[in-house]
Amino acid sequence: MRIFFFLGASGLFYVYIVECKDGTLYTGWTVDIQKRLTAHNRGKGAKYTRSRFPVVLKYLEQVASKPEAFQREYSIKQLTREQKYQLIAQSKSDQIT
């Protein structure tokens, strides 16, 4: 069996954090952030978010490759909840300056 992986229109990968309806955070990666958020909010995304939608995008980071996306997703998932919120706050302040 062959598995084909198609890049998004931009050719980039995205690592993201969403906040679920119950206040929990979910971290994932995708090639099409709009499509992925739509899936999460229709209950068709990750098993974790299926019963916790709607979700709100809190953090988005572009990376250049699939291995880099996997690695970054893993490193974010190792953070504590507080550290994830610090990452979110830092990304918002970076956008302002």
pLDDT value, residue 95: 65
Distance CA 18, CA 47 (A): 14
Boundaries of domain holding 55: 13-96
Cut 0.85: pTM above it: no
Let me know if residue 23 belongs to a domain: yes
| Exposure string for 47-56, b = 16+ CB within 10 A, e = fewer | eebeebbebe
Q: What is 17-73 written as a DSSP string? A: EEE-TTS-EEEEEES-HHHHHHHHHTT-S-GGGTTS---EEEEEEEESSHHHHHHHH
Residue 4 lies in a domain: no
Predicted local distance difference test score (pLDDT) of residue 78: 98
Residue with tokens 């084909």: 4
CATH code of the domain covering residue 58: 3.40.1440.10
**Mean pLDDT by 10-residue block, N- to C-terminus, for the chain (97 residues)?**
45 94 97 95 90 94 96 98 96 68
